[in-house]
Amino acid sequence: MTSLGVVGMERPAARLRVHAWLARNQKWLLGLLGFVPLLVLWQVGGSLIEDNTFISTPVQVALAARAQIASGQLLQDFLVSLSELVPGFGLAIVIGVPLGLVIGRSRWVEYALDPYIWFFYSAPIIAFYPLLIMWFGLGSRTVTVLTFLFAFFPIVSNTVVGVHEVDRTLIRAARSFGATKFQLLRLVVLPASVPAIAAGLRLGIGRALIGTVVGEFFGASAGLGFRISLYGTQMQIGDMFVSVVVVMIIGVVLMHALQWLESRVDTWRS
C-alpha cells in the first residue's frame, strides 16, 4: 500500500477519534462555551464604563491572576484555604455520616439529639464566631472549626433522612435471612442511603466553602477569603475577583468529584 493510501486511512480514523472525544466531553465543552457570552458582555460592559473603580473586566482579572501567580501569592493563599477546608470538611464527613446513621436507626438517640441538630442547622453559625475566637484564637484553627460547623449539620440531617427513607421491604428481607444489626446497617441501610448522603455532602461542601471564606474575612492573615476582604476594602477589584474565581473553581471541582464518587459507590442500583 502506498504512503498516500496510509495517509488516507489515517484521516478518517483521526476524525473518528475526534468525534468520539467530543461526544464523551460534550457536557464539559458546552458548559465552558456557556461562559463565553457572559465573559464577552462583562468585557464590553466593563470597557464602556469610564469609572471602573467598582468594576473590572475579564482581561484585567486575567492580568491580576498572572501577577499573583508569578509572585507565588495565589498559590500560597490557595494552599492556606485548602489546609482549612479539607480538615474541616473531612471531619464533618467522618463524624457526621456515622452519627446520622446511628440517629436514623435509633429512635432514642434521635429523640435526644434531634433538637440540637435542627437548632444548629437553622441557626446562623457565623453568630458563634466571636465565641470561637475566644476559644481557639485567631487564625487557621478557628477557620477550620467554623468550616466544620457549617458542613456538619447538613451532612448529619441528610444522612438521617436517607436512613428513614430506606425501603422497609429490604430491611425485613435482610432480617428474615438472619442479618445482625451491624450487617443490616452495613449491607442494607448504608448502601440505600447513598443518594441522600451524597446530597448532604454536596450541601456540606458549599457551606464548608462559605465557612472557610467567611472565617478568613475576619480572623486570618492569609487565604482566599482574606484576599477577597483585603482587596475589596482597597478597591482592587481585579485582584479581588481572582480569589473569587478560584473559590468558585474549587467548589465546582469538589462538587463534580463528589458526583463521580457517588456514581462509583452507588453501583448496586444500576
Contact between 184 and 211 under an 8 Å Cβ cutoff? The reply is no
pTM given for the model: 0.80
Quote the pLDDT of residue 123: 80
Contact between 92 and 102 under an 8 Å Cβ cutoff? The reply is no
CA distance 211 to 247: 12
Quote the pLDDT of residue 191: 80
CATH match for 58-269 among 3.30.1490.20, 2.60.40.10, 1.10.3720.10, 3.10.180.10: 1.10.3720.10
Return the residue matching grid coordinates 471531619: 91
Closest listed residue to residue 35, CA positions, set 224, 249, 208: 249
Q: Quick one: how many helices (H) and strands (E) in the chain?
A: 14, 0
Quote the pLDDT of residue 77: 92
Quote the pLDDT of residue 50: 66
CA distance 174 to 119: 35
Return the residue matching grid coordinates 484521516: 11
Residue 1: strand, helix, or coil: coil
Q: Any idea where the domains of the chain sit in the sequence?
A: 58-269
Residue 165: strand, helix, or coil: coil
Dihedral sign computed on CA atoms, order 100, 97, 158, 91 = positive
* pLDDT tens series, the chain, 270 aa: 455 454 454 556 666 666 666 666 666 666 667 667 777 777 777 676 766 667 778 888 888 899 999 999 999 999 999 999 999 999 999 999 999 988 888 888 888 888 888 888 788 888 888 888 888 888 889 999 999 999 999 999 999 988 888 777 777 777 777 777 777 777 777 788 888 888 899 999 999 999 999 989 887 788 899 999 998 888 888 889 999 999 999 988 888 888 888 777 765 555
Angle at 57 between CA 79 and CA 27, to 5 degrees: 65
Q: Which amino acid is at 106?
A: S
CA distance 1 to 5: 6
